[in-house]
Structures are given as C-alpha cells and as structure tokens.
Amino acid sequence: MKIKIGSSEFKNPIFAASGTFGYGEEFSRIIDINKLGAIVTKAVTLKPRKGNEGLRIAETPAGMINRIGLENVGLDAFINEKLKFLSSLKTGIIINIAGETKNEYVALAKVLGGLAGIHALEVNVSCPNVEKGGIEFSQDLIQFKELIKAVRKATEMPLIVKLSPSAGDILTFAKLARDEGVDAITVSNTFKASLIDTKSQKIYIQGGLSGPAIFPLALSNVIQVCKNIDIPVIASGGIHSVDTALQFFIAGAKAVQIGTFNFIQPDIALQIIKGITTFMREKKLSSINQIIGSLP
Amino acid sequence: MERKIFFEKARLKENRKIGHNFYLLKFITSVNPVVISPGQFVDLRIRDNHDPLLRRPFSIFNYEKGIMSVLYKIQGRGTGMLSSLKKGDMIDYIGPLGNGFHPFKIGKTLSVAGGIGMAGLFYLQKIFNSIPLLIGLNEKSDALALLDLLKESRIQQNRVHIAVMEKTPEFFTGTATDLLQTFLKRTKYDLILSCGPEAMMHSVYKIAVKKNIATQFLLERIMGCGMGVCQGCTVKVKEKGRLNNKLVCKDGPVFSGEEIVWT
C-alpha cells in the first residue's frame, strides 16, 4: 500500500485531514494512530489565532458546516509543544500551513521545511489575503500563483496545495499549482455553505460544508482533475466508508484524506485500511497502484 | 495520569420514559467506575446512518455494576431517534469525556439543577450523598417519576429537594432558583454546583455573587467531536484579565462562575 509524494514515502495512502485530527494527541487515546499513512495537522499560522466568535458548527443533512477560524497555537508553540509528540509517531506527518499574507506562508515554509520529522507541507489557500482586501488566496488566480511560487521557492520539502472547490474552475487552479512545481494537490477543502435562522431572518451560520453530503461533489472534482493533471492528487471530501475511499482511488487519487467522519467513527481510517487490504486480496492485486486511476 | 477513554459498541439494557418528559437509557459498558468523574459525559452515536450525522453528548447519569445510564429529554431529531431504540439494540459511545466537577471540599456545598440539567448532577449526588440537590421541574408527574427513579438507582432521596412550577401540595411551588433562595436564607453555603438552561444558571450565578458563594457550572454545547479536536464548542472565559475561548468538551464541561463571560 506504500505510496510516494515528492521525496517522501508513506506506508499507506489513508491520511487524516487537516482540522479533523488536531495534532494527533486526542485520537491516540482511543485508536492506534500509527496505522495511518499520514496525519495532516490542524493549520499552523505564524502567530497564535483565537478563531471565530459565536456559533462555530452546525449539523446539516449528512453534513456539518464549520467556521472555526483557524484557531491554533501558532508556530512557536506548535514546535515547542506539539511537534515532539508528532515526531514520536510511526506515521507520516504533514503540516498544514495558513497565513494572512504571502510572507507569512513563506516564513512558515522556511521554518517548518527545515525541521526533521516532517514529511510534507500542505498549503491551505482558503484564507483571506489581508493585503488584497481580504480576498481568499484560493479565489484569485494571480495571487494564488504568486503565493504558490513564493512558497515553492522557500522550501524543498514535498509541497501539497489544498484547493478550494468554491473558486470556480478547480482545474485551472490545479494546473497553476502544477506549473509552479508543487508535488501534489489536495482536492479539496470544504464547500462554502450557509444556513438562515427563519425566526430571526438572519444568517445562522456561514462556513464550510463537510461530511458524507459532499462526497459526490468532491468525487466529480477529483475525476476531472485526475483526468487532466499528471501530478499526484490527494482526494478529500465526505469519505465515510471503504467504498467511498475506493471510488476516489479508482478515479485516480494517489491518497485520500478522511475528515469529518473521524468525529463520527474515530476508527474509520483503520477500517478503511483493513477494507482496502481485503479488497486487494480478493482481487489478487499486489499494489494499490493497480487500483489507482483504473477508471476507463 | 490521563484517565482511560473507552470507544466501543454497547448493548442497550433499557430505554424507557420517565414521567412525561424524560427518558432513561441504560447500556452495558466495559467502563470501570474508577475512571468516571462526576460531571463527565459520553458521546453517543445514535444510529449507523448519516442523518443526523454527529454524535450527541450526554452527562453520565449513573453507573452501577457494569451498566451506564444517561437521562435525556427529546430536544430534536437526534434525541427523538434515541428514544425509539429498544432493549438489545446496539449504540456506540466514546467516554467518559471531559473533566467533570473541579475538586472541592464537601462541607457547605449545594447543587441546583434546572430541568434536564439535573442529569449532570445525580452521579455527584450518588458519590457524595450529603450534598443537597435542588431540582426545578415543570410538572408534578415528572417529580413523582423522578423520585421513583432515584429509589431504583440507589441515589439517596432525602437530600433531593424538588420545586415544581405546577401548584401542588407535595412539592415546593416555583423555580429551582426560588427554592435556592429559601435554602440560602436558612444556611450559609460556600459552593454551588449547577446545571440547567443558560438563563437559569446565570440567575444562580448572580445570586451566588451577592452572597459571596463560589460556583461551578456544567455547560452544554453542540459538539462536533466531544474530544477537543474540532474546536466547535467554545465558551468565552476571562483568563488572567484577558478574554479567551475555551472548549466545553475538553477544557470543561465544568467552569467556575467567575471565569464564564455571561451574556
């Protein structure tokens, strides 16, 4: 089940998605997280962030909307308090980085890209650029390209870009990222979503939708991107079973990330690893690569 | 040392209505009572389907001989579905979660619950049965059913005092906070523990502040994971003179009245 992204090798292609696994500590108390292919950490920003005020999550049919606001301990505390535990694990460690300016991303990439025990960086581009009037890096082709170019220059560590599905044509962004030399792209982040409170007639919540509800939407994007791009695609969005993970692999994803369903079923990643092993044995396949991209 | 958290499938032993408004769910558990701290909760996955998606957190009501129980009220679709489960059905749970009540000297302590908020205070009552527990309920029938339940759960009734909104000779008429006021007139207390609707807890806090009594409140929130990962269940607190967000699931669910920013 081994796969490679850039120069890093992962023992299997089942990862935990950013923001749904913290820095690993909580889940390590109830499951053997060393079995995962990799953990993508909660986003790390240069300075600590308090996150959003008010309601942060809401349940929708087979989904969840969140607006956490990238609450995290910041780079220094991450290195001093969280990295030691992560480095002690026998699983791949991918650090998700986020910033408010291009320079913040570059600073994060320079520091984290030079540390041992980290196998890749994943760039979260769904953040408002405060220097460009708060338009998300993921929404504007020019600032997206400049950001990726700068981060790529800042580090030689394997670099993944996590795309937003709410920025128009996801393929255009995927091609831009590829042209700037990233090692893989994650398709994709949450879908922009809202709920209105009919009693007050005001917005109840506005954030990103995740969970089983988005699986077919994410799959459609993964199919499109995999057909047209030759660098590794990491699929993420609504995985809730062995079958949904397999669909992503058949579509061409080299790895998958499990997100919200970790909350519902904390051992879902382990069940999927087991299920795919069984699937491969039954089909007499010796490598996961025989499944990846098998869609005609 | 960190306490063990269990994550397992459990068989339902019982799921029945208590009075007009409440339900008691009992399930077989491998949890050892040593790991349960009063005020902790379990996160239940009600059905194996995806709607409703998220687990639902419930205070641990009782533990006895390998059986854990939660007391709940139908609040929405999740608890509605929960109420339809039958003996022998399987649910899965994660827990015990959260930290429970902060350590305190039992001496002059009083508990106050509003409605289903009482679910979070009984296990404390069972362990330290000398603490008076004041409960505010709407209906007399619920109060009578509750007393039967306490007897069956081996939770001492003689320190449990019930206030009922419905006028009836058997019980104090009024709210939990009305009943609290009468207790505070008679005796001096050092600490009040409380769980209930946010407005009721705020009233309890205001009463306690006037009388210089320390407080601990067991808060409820919509939770995504129950373990401190999703960071969805925040409460605003004052910490070293600054405002901060804390997580109800991981940092709580119990907070002191002074640290909570009441709104």
Averaged over B229-252, what is the pLDDT?
A: 94
Cβ distance of A71 and B231 shorter than 8 Å:
yes
Best of B54, B91, B222 to disrupt the A interface (most A CBs within 10 Å) is B54
Averaged over B230-253, what is the pLDDT?
A: 94
Averaged over B224-232, what is the pLDDT?
A: 96
DSSP assigned state of A139:
G
Q: Which residue of A has its CA nearest to B244?
A: A50
> Model confidence at A256, in pLDDT bands (50, 70, 90)?
very high
- Name the residue facing A266 among B94, B224, B228 (closest C-beta): B94
The whole-chain average pLDDT of chain B stands at 94
Q: Which residues contact A186 (CB under 8 A, 6 or more apart)?
A: A122, A160, A161, A162, A163, A233, A234, A235, A236, A257
> Which residues 253-272 of A are in CB contact (within 8 Å) with B?
260, 262-267
Instruction: Check: CB of residue A168 under 8 Å from CB of residue A143.
Output: no
Q: Which residues pair with A184 in a beta bridge?
A: A160
Cβ distance of B236 and A53 shorter than 8 Å:
yes
Cβ distance of B231 and A27 shorter than 8 Å:
no
Q: Tell me whether B75 touches chain A (CB under 8 Å).
A: no
pLDDT in tens, A63-72: 999 999 999 9
Averaged over A34-49, what is the pLDDT?
A: 97
> Model confidence at A229, in pLDDT bands (50, 70, 90)?
very high
Share of chain A above pLDDT 70, in %: 100
> Which residues 208-237 of A are in CB contact (within 8 Å) with B?
211-213
Q: Would the pLDDT of B1 be above 70?
A: no
A16-19: long-range contacts (C-beta < 8 A, 24 or more apart)? Answer: A16/A40, A16/A257, A16/A258, A16/A259, A16/A262, A16/A269, A17/A236, A17/A257, A17/A258, A17/A259, A17/A262, A18/A42, A18/A43, A18/A96, A18/A122, A18/A124, A18/A162, A18/A257, A19/A43, A19/A66, A19/A68, A19/A96, A19/A259, A19/B230
> Model confidence at A131, in pLDDT bands (50, 70, 90)?
confident
pLDDT in tens, B50-82: 999 999 999 999 999 999 999 999 999 999 999
Taken in order B38, B43, B47, B51, is the CA torsion positive or negative?
positive
Question: Residue B3: what pLDDT?
Answer: 75
Q: Which residues pair with A63 in a beta bridge?
A: A60
Interface confidence, given as ipTM, is: 0.94
Q: Would the pLDDT of A267 be above 70?
A: yes
Question: Residue A142: what pLDDT?
Answer: 94
Q: How many CB atoms lie within 10 A of CB B88?
A: 8
Rg (CA), chain A: 18
Question: Residue B200: what pLDDT?
Answer: 97
Query: Active-site residues of A: which are they?
Result: 127
- Name the residue facing A59 among B2, B52, B233 (closest C-beta): B52
Q: Would the pLDDT of B155 be above 90?
A: no
Nearest-CA neighbor of A158 among A5, A11, A37? Answer: A5
A to B CB pairs, distance under 8 Å: 88
Chain B residues inside the 8 Å CB shell of A62: 50-51, 53
Give dist(CA B33, CA B31) in Å, integer. 6
The pTM score is 0.95
Q: How many CB atoms lie within 10 A of CB A285?
A: 14
Cβ distance of A263 and B229 shorter than 8 Å:
yes
Question: Residue B71: what pLDDT?
Answer: 97
- Per DSSP, the residues of A23-74 read TSHHHHTTS-GGGSSEEEPSPB-SS-B----S--EEEETTEEEE-----B--
